[in-house]
Amino acid sequence: MSTDKSPRLADPFVNTHTHEPYAPGALDGLTFALKDNIDVAREVTGYGSPGWKDAHAAEPVAHAICMEQLLGAGATFKGKTISDELAYSLLGVNAFYGTPANPKAPDRIPGGSSSGSASAVAGKQVDFALGTDTGGSVRVPAANCGIWGYRPSHGAISVSGVLPLAPSYDTVGIMTRTGEVLEKVMGVLLAEEGQDPTAPPTVCFVDDVFQLAGGQMAEVLAPFQRKIAEMCRTQTATLSEITASHVNWRWLFENWGTCSPSRSGTVSEPGSPMISRG
């Protein structure tokens, strides 16, 4: 999609207030930015909306937990980045603050809603950035801007100090230019120290989703299920067992698409032709 009819192209940052790390650690020498729906102490969290900012003018008294983790691991904070208004779009266009440039394709949109974070990373203004992903808001801009994007499983990274969109699905995600930096940041935010790295993960197959997909799709997916079962512990469940039983899952699947969660989350690699939806 071209930006010809979009608002002005903008610097990806809402502000560039620096916070130095608390101590040396695994992220020494790395710089990062946060999407403007993640709290930074003594700065109003704007949520991509002047109206929201005016109506919620109280400054947070503390950083979000994810910010604290990164500063404690040696990373340097370089500023807040533009978000689509109220984080409610996958385009990356913001009529109030401008549309962050897509450094890899300047005539095209960056994708959203974590548009500024993706733009800042792709433009080498920071080493990594955090966004939020409810239905693709890290993975889409990462794919559009040609960088790595990681959406963890729900609850794997703390959302304390993060403004909600849909709390049952909201996650904090990571964007980087390299897999090596992504691995380091994941190690900090997922609090992996002390865990057994050799323990196989458990993957849950949501049976009724596969049934709704139809016979041909189930046949295509079957070899992948078998391969996963060879590498991981597996279990099965239905959507009604793991969430509210009153939801019309057939309608949800047919209109929006669903995917079963894994403990490892979803990664979109640079140049990946497909984006899984969450």
Is 98 within 8 Å of 33 (Cβ atoms)? no
Residue 261 in tokens: 């969660």
**Angle value at C-alpha 118, between 114 and 120, nearest 5 degrees:** 120
| Local structure of 145: helix, strand or coil | helix
On the CB side of 247, how many CA atoms lie within 13 Å of its CA?
12
Whole-Å CA distances, 221 to 92, 141, 204, 209, 242: 32, 27, 14, 12, 22
- Give the residue among 149, 166, 79, 68 at the shortest CA–CA distance from 112: 149
Whole-Å CA distances, 228 to 39, 208, 274, 277: 38, 18, 20, 19
Is 14 within 8 Å of 81 (Cβ atoms)? yes
Active site residues: 35, 113, 137
Q: Left, alpha or beta for 29 (phi > 0: left; psi -120 to 50: alpha)?
A: left
Is 12 within 8 Å of 101 (Cβ atoms)? yes
Is 109 within 8 Å of 3 (Cβ atoms)? yes
Q: Which residues pair with 33 in a beta bridge?
A: 129
Q: What are phi and psi of 55, to 5 degrees?
A: -85, -15
